Chains A and B, each alone.
Chain A
Amino acid sequence: MLCARCKKNAATVVLKQIVDNQVSELRLCAHCADAEPSLPADPALLGLLALLGGATARERAAAARCPSCGLRWADFRKTGTLGCHGCYEAFAEPLKAVLKEMQGSVKHAGKSPTGSAPYPARPTAGTGMERRRVETEADLRAKLEEALRRERYEEAARLRDRIHRLKDS
């Protein structure tokens, strides 16, 4: 079989590409295979850029800048990357709509950095290792029950994670 690009050399390489979870095959000679560009990397990023491209209702935010790093929403729309931690705060509203559509959720449900709950109050002395050693499972369970009683579910989830980690260690 001849190379699909130059149509001169024999095809010795089968290049396969995945687009939208579909594999397509391309039979090329070694020379043309080397020259073949890779598609842009992350499908999740491509999805995000498509989403941002179509987001006309969020145009109003386009001129606003993040006070911490100076990034504009319009910059984000081009690259799909934010500038800093502060951007999440600065663009909270338009981001929420994007996250909802892309991630199906706007609420974190995973772990948090080790340290005393509630975040972000960080202890001034000691490392996470020492803190974990002095805090027993019973202490954490008491705190968990207290948090549940007060309906502070975020804190409860963090405590539950810490209890799991304590058990694992």
Chain B
Amino acid sequence: MILSAMLRVKMAWARPTGPRHEVVLSSRLRLARNLKGRSFPPRARHDDLAAVLKSVFAAAAAAPALAKAARVRLDEVDAVDREFMVERRLASRALVREPQARGVVVGEREVLSVMVNEEDHLRIQGIDSGLCLEDLLSQVSAADDQLSASLDLAFSPAWGYSTACPTNVGTGLRASALVHLPGLALSGQVNGVLQRLGAAGMIARGHYGEGTKVLGDFYQVANARSLGVSEAEIVEAVGAAVESLVRAESKARTELLHGLGKTRLEDLVYRSMGALAHARLVTYEEAMQHLSYARLGLSLGWELPADLTTVNELTVLSQPGHVQMLAGKELKGADRDFLRATLLRGKLKS
């Protein structure tokens, strides 16, 4: 069915082709929108949610930007499929927790998508490779315009788009980038750098948004404000913050490479390549740490028996839901770790 077909399709955002991809894995931008006359999802009754889902799916079918999109009702797919969508960043944990009357619209190559009845009625999002927030803004905003042609959105000229949580009110916009900072982490500078970002009005979080466990030195940087600034200003500010991170990370990598730590760096990278290519049981956290160092070595231009596309994809495919999707069934811890190790070995054989 649709979801296992997705496993074979490469996500646009895993390609190592976007601007600044040596540090910026992907950019993500979302607009929060709600319909007038219906309570926000946290307070809505089932009837309201069902009506919202129906009208959003109909609006998506009529929107040219989402014409070829798949419309998935979360109560019509099983738990493994739902976990898979979370790992694919098409659905949030909060969305799949209560699958009834919840849904996701998934556009081509998984660039554009819409979560229906998460905290807000609509979360229109775009994800793509590298630092590309301006491009995502124009795509997501066009989809928003097309959807709003057939939906009556909750909006006021004074406070903008109403959202369930006032942290999103106004533009409803959150622009973020998933950045890979092993150089800053290894040289002990990551805290200082993140603090400066905080002072500049940015929020730094762990890998993949929902939890706060940082895996493999991947961090997410996003805007804190959504009101009193325009969409273009937000995107510009986040873009500038990410550019400064790219510069700091590149400098840190160069210093590590030329300093006394070079052998230590090589040891980390080759040790990780060894584990990825030979280990028999690999947990998800372990996989992420080793893939992080493999990614570092590759972006330094080292000759390693791997390529960036494969390594980026493996950060996604190593997740528990993807491994289970590959197996076609739910797996217990050790079985999962064994299958993950087999997958990694197969993809990274020298």
Of the four ranges (under 10, 10 to 19, 20 to 34, 35 or more), the interface on chain A belongs to 35 or more
Known contacts A83-B43, A84-B39, A111-B171, A12 near B158 by CB under 8 Å = no
What's the Cα separation between A107 and B149 when bound, in Å?
24
Cβ–Cβ < 8 Å partners of A129 in chain B:
146, 149
Contact partner, A21, options B43, B119, B194, B215, Cβ 8 Å:
B194
B108 at the interface (CB under 8 A from A): no
Do A110 and B214 touch across chains, with their CB atoms under 8 A apart?
Answer: no
Do A81 and B158 touch across chains, with their CB atoms under 8 A apart?
Answer: no
Q: Which of these binds chain A: B221-229, B259-267, B293-301, B304-312?
A: B221-229
Known contacts A21-B195, A109-B230, A84 near B43 by CB under 8 Å = yes
Q: Which residue of B lies closest to A161 (CB)?
A: B230
- Cβ contacts A125-137/B at 8 Å (1 or 0 each): 0011100000000
Which of B43, B173, B289 has the most CB atoms of chain A within a 10 A radius of its CB? B43
Do A120 and B155 touch across chains, with their CB atoms under 8 A apart?
Answer: yes
Do B212 and A39 touch across chains, with their CB atoms under 8 A apart?
Answer: yes
Contact partner, A110, options B215, B217, B230, Cβ 8 Å:
B230
Do A85 and B157 touch across chains, with their CB atoms under 8 A apart?
Answer: no
Q: Which of these binds chain A: B162-170, B239-247, B323-331, B338-346?
A: B162-170
Cβ of A18 to closest chain B Cβ, rounded Å: 6
Top 3 A-B pairs, shortest CB-CB distance: A105-B228, A108-B160, A128-B149
Binding site for A on B (CB under 8 A): 34, 36-40, 42-43, 94, 119, 138, 141-142, 144-146, 148-150, 152-162, 164-167, 169-171, 173, 185, 190-191, 194-195, 197-198, 203-206, 209-215, 217, 219, 224-231, 233, 283, 285-286, 289, 333
Binding site for B on A (CB under 8 A): 12-23, 30, 33-34, 36, 38-39, 41-45, 47-48, 68-69, 71, 79-85, 87-88, 95, 98-99, 102-115, 118-120, 122, 127-129, 154, 165, 168-169
